[in-house]
Chains A and B, each alone.
Chain A
């Protein structure tokens, strides 16, 4: 059985074909072989380039706003009893979500590659919004592919993208959500790979895109590691890091620096989207034991029928509404380093209500799934257990849905 190796970042623990255990790889058309190889060579060079790292850190600090706050949710903790609930308010980052890290890094790489255009996919609209911001900041022309259904339900983010000068390309095929947006974006890149960079919005896609995204979002756990040590003097004996999982970019970034701690000390809990209460069309391939398949260039657990057609998903949260999941998370599940569970739409909404009632925090529907799990387990745990939830997105984009479902 495959194990996590010590002393090597998890993103580098793949074989020469790009697989983490059974997951990942490069299932791509021949035309993309060369651009993917070029990007791989450039990224491997840049991540060792001190000037590039300085540049990244400069923009993370002065433009994204690092570090994002790490605070205790005193009222929620008191209300629930049991474990202490803390949160890392990643939504305080410029733009309002963790997607800014990957967008910034891809834009910086695109500049180094001499590309003038950058394209990306988006579900909740955060990946698109951040890419449009970064593209504007670094002088790149930007196109965002987005499912027509998502354009309707995440209007505030669409407005932001347009304001940043990006073109939104609506995708009408299939379920008209993230899965189709990623496909269309890849198709666009096949036709325009010589002039255009592609930013895959999460830790999904061909191997190199998983790596770049994971490398970028790991900023979250680098900050958290320091903040925890400052707050507690050491890493607590019982620490639980809870994060929602759609594609898996925020959760991977939230966990990465803690990878080599024992599970007993630092537990990773990933919360997938269970969809509406009685629906079978969940977006939780890890929780409900989906089979391995190929989606968007990588082998992963994915919702599909026996023929291998990818199944449509249903979730109140556009950011988690994806039938597959990062190969990194599939690997973490198989080596049992992380535990995965799901929260339903209703549970996420309830969690949102409770958190906003007790705290001055406005988590979007994605992290509300993570809060649902924290709320569920906290009362049964001892008060020396530290739960940290990654509040990775702001609910401003969800205002229409929240108004409709909760009347506020």
Chain B
């Protein structure tokens, strides 16, 4: 069996004795061209890039990602453009694995099969669908696997132990642990120690070495170094915020975000 690029990214960071760094940016923020340039500059330091396909009724995103999403939609981003961005990014020789993240309605409207075919064609490696929880996602997750795309299951502090066990069993090579009860980008209202305690409980449930458990929500350059023992950390809202600030100050978001991710990487 071939190892997926996502697993390879985790293996590489494990060899370097650090968690993988995952970034999240919104496709088309603030323009199609700029968002591709941002991805290219991030790619020098991140291990895996999550790209949001923006939706205008996001029920789980906080202010920063909402701002980025609305900005991208206002600038005319369409699903077809999101795929174009991935395709162009993947031509970069330094390209990293790509995980698309968004809400189910956009996949539903595109058509599940057509969507997955397009993902495969442009080089998407994984998918996170915020509002398609287990077990409702079982059918779609299977389709993803058939297409060699990782379907990322999510776990949260409200997930019961028995449910978590079932989800872990049904997961692919990456699982996402939501750090706290919050939308994306909330202030970390639980101590990293507490988060890691819950994280480790789930980690123990994972029998297979090929399944990687990452932490996201509320992780910023201020607290990322507290999560060094995890398999991977996602930073999203802080990056989106940086883009918003750069636009406001009439600075180049590509340079600012690049520098930010460089610093994030150093902290791991």
Contacts and interface: CB of A to CB of B under 8 A. Distances in A.
Given A183-B58, A190-B60, A29 B182 contact: no
B159 interface: yes
A210 to B, nearest CB: 16
Q: How large is the interface on B (under 10, 10 to 19, 20 to 34, 35 or more residues)?
A: 35 or more
B57 A191 contact: no
B209 to A, nearest CB: 24
A277 B218 CA distance: 47
B183 interface: yes
A295 B178 contact: no
A306 interface: yes
B59 A190 contact: yes
Contact of B109 (A25, A179, A194, A304): A304
Given A35-B158, A294-B104, A309-B73, A192 B57 contact: no
A231 B125 CA distance: 67
B195 interface: no
A291 B109 CA distance: 9
A35 B133 CA distance: 14
A2 interface: no
B159 A193 contact: no
B154 interface: yes
B57 A183 contact: yes
B244 interface: no
Contacts of A26: 133, 136
Contacts of A183: 57-59
B160 A34 contact: yes
Nearest to A179: B57
Given A28-B133, A193-B181, A293-B105, A33 B56 contact: no
Nearest to A293: B105
Interface string B144-173: 000000000011111110010000000000
Nearest to B217: A31
A97 B110 CA distance: 40
Among A35, A183, A192, A294, residue most surrounded by chain B Cβ atoms (within 10 Å): A294
Contacts of A194: 158, 181
A364 B174 CA distance: 53
A295 B105 contact: yes
A308 B110 contact: yes
Interface in B220-248: none
B159 A191 contact: no
Nearest to A173: B66
A192 B56 CA distance: 22
A310 B156 CA distance: 27
A32 B159 CA distance: 9
A80 B79 CA distance: 52
Nearest to B133: A30
A191 B136 contact: no
A276 interface: no
A304 B105 contact: yes
A297 interface: yes
B106 interface: yes
Among A17, A31, A34, A174, residue most surrounded by chain B Cβ atoms (within 10 Å): A31
B108 A293 contact: yes
A295 to B, nearest CB: 6
A134 to B, nearest CB: 24
Given A29-B60, A304-B109, A307-B78, A190 B182 contact: yes
B132 interface: yes
A187 B106 contact: no
A295 B57 contact: yes
Contacts of A350: none
Contacts of A291: 109
B61 A187 contact: yes
Contacts of B57: 174, 179-180, 183, 295-296, 310
Interface in A56-78: none
Interface of B: 55-62, 66, 70, 73, 78-79, 103-106, 108-110, 130-134, 136, 154-160, 163, 178, 181-183, 186
Q: Which 5 A-B pairs have the closest CB atoms?
A: A308-B109, A34-B158, A294-B105, A308-B106, A31-B156
13 contacts: A28-B133, A29-B130, A29-B131, A30-B154, A33-B133, A174-B57, A180-B57, A186-B59, A190-B60, A191-B182, A192-B181, A194-B181, A296-B57
Interface of A: 17, 25-35, 173-174, 179-180, 183, 186-187, 190-194, 291, 293-297, 304, 306-310
Given A187-B62, A296-B57, 17 more contacts: A30-B178, A31-B157, A33-B133, A33-B156, A33-B159, A35-B158, A180-B57, A187-B60, A190-B183, A293-B108, A293-B109, A294-B103, A294-B108, A295-B57, A307-B79, A307-B106, A310-B57
